[in-house]
Structure 1
Amino acid sequence: MRTIVIIGGSKGIGNAIVKQQLETNCVHNISRTTPDISHANLKHYTADILHNSLPKIETIDTLIYCPGSINLKPIGNLSLDDFRNDFEINVIGAVKSIQHFLPDLKKGKNPSILLFSTVASKLGMPFHASIATAKAGIEGLAKSLAAELATSVRINAIAPTITETSLSASILRNEKMKDNMMERHPMKAYLKPTEVAEMADFLISDKAKSISGQVFEMDYGIVSFKI
């Protein structure tokens, strides 16, 4: 049984990962709200990643940082605070978590870190300037730290296309918008949180012990294909 620390596991992709890992691993979740599940293998800590101290967890094999934002506005409507806030939650929170848990993580079994980017960092998309900038920072962080920690900790990132979570509820708020979103993707679908959780499970496992410093696009073809 491995010990996994998940930041932001109460909702969305993070919650899907918590549920997927609980049966076989010890999961420590850190988030502002409590996950909608109780289990003998789950321990929850209520904390705001940007403003509260993080708990001491001496045994840790994997750190997964899930918090993100969807702040879609024309550049003229984005304030400097919008950019700062998106960078804080996406990048600074990840850095804070890594710095806090890294000493104990280095002592773990096949230790790994998993971060989250977005397809918008690769594909130019209108109104995504703030979030794409922040997530590009996550990709740079993943690659740089993977090189720095190559002999001790693996670090990878997943870059999902739009995923059906509460964060994207305004974009997928009715059947017409869902249909339009599917049509935008060459493979005529978009992501469910459980699909991302399956990829996460692979990347933190021994099956991926040769993989580090990579960003995996889960895009249903929207970045990869031109059809």
Structure 2
Amino acid sequence: RVSVDDMKEAMDVNLYGALKAIQWAYPVMRKTPNAAVVLFSTVAVSQGMPFHTVVASAKGAVEGFAKSLAAEFAPKVRVNCIAPSLTDTELAGDLLRDDKRREASAERHPLKRIGQREDIAHAAQYLLGEESSWVTGQILHVDGGMSSVRV
């Protein structure tokens, strides 16, 4: 069951948190060559997963925010978003608490493994660096193929 309070909290943390951080940093970013912003979403936005209503709604707002902001900030600041699947972090600890759960989760992904912190970090590093200087307004799915591949 989705509560209004849960939805408000998710929007406060995800959307409004991103907005506040960007508002604070934008005066410096717009004067910085190759400035870039990377926001974070979830594969649940594109997949319609059960029990993800609150987070998928908030992160869907983040994706729309990223695309619109990319248009508004161009050409001075690039804005992109990473949409990962389940990643082996403390936040996912309960979902990955035993070998059976870890194996089941890995099997749901076409690449048959759970994402690692480094997978997400490398994507962020790319989007923030010179190598992606012609990339803006994109949602990069770092999800082991979950959002686009069926095997």
Does the TM-score normalized on the shorter chain lie above 0.5?
yes
Q: Match of 1:210?
A: 134
Q: Match of 2:56?
A: 132
Q: Quick one: distance in 2 between partners of 1:225 and 1:152?
A: 34
Q: Quick one: distance in 2 between partners of 1:166 and 1:141?
A: 27
Q: Match of 2:33?
A: 109
Deviation at 1:155, TM superposition (A): 0.3
2:119 counterpart SS class? helix
Name stretches of at least 5 consecutive residues in structure 1 with no aligned partner.
1-75
125, 138, 160: which is aligned to 2:84?
160
Q: Match of 1:46?
A: none
Within-5 A mapping of 1:67-106 = 76=1, 78-106=2-30
Structure label with greater radius of gyration = 1
Q: Quick one: distance in 2 between partners of 1:110 and 1:224?
A: 30
Moved beyond 6 Å, runs of 4+: none
Q: Quick one: distance in 1 between partners of 2:57 and 2:108?
A: 22
2:47 counterpart SS class? coil
Q: Quick one: distance in 1 between partners of 2:99 and 2:11?
A: 32
Q: Which has the higher helix share?
A: 2
Name stretches of at least 5 consecutive residues in structure 2 with no aligned partner.
none
Deviation at 1:186, TM superposition (A): 1.5
Letter in 2 for 1:153: V
Larger RCO: 1 or 2 (CA < 8 Å, sep 6+): 2
Deviation at 1:107, TM superposition (A): 1.0
Q: Quick one: distance in 2 between partners of 1:201 and 1:225?
A: 24
Residues 39, 81 of structure 2: 8 Å contact kept: yes
191, 194, 199: which is aligned to 2:123?
199
Letter in 2 for 1:200: A
Q: Match of 1:176?
A: 100
Q: Quick one: distance in 2 between partners of 1:175 and 1:117?
A: 26
Letter in 1 for 2:141: E
Equivalent residue pairs, number = 151
Letter in 2 for 1:187: L
Q: Quick one: distance in 2 between partners of 1:114 and 1:222?
A: 21
Q: CA RMSD in A?
A: 0.8
Residues 33, 76 of structure 2: 8 Å contact kept: no
TM-score norm. by structure 2 comes to: 0.97
Deviation at 1:195, TM superposition (A): 1.2
Deviation at 1:109, TM superposition (A): 2.3
Q: Quick one: distance in 2 between partners of 1:195 and 1:119?
A: 14
Deviation at 1:223, TM superposition (A): 1.3
TM-score norm. by structure 1 comes to: 0.65
Residues 81, 138 of structure 2: 8 Å contact kept: yes
Q: Match of 1:64?
A: none
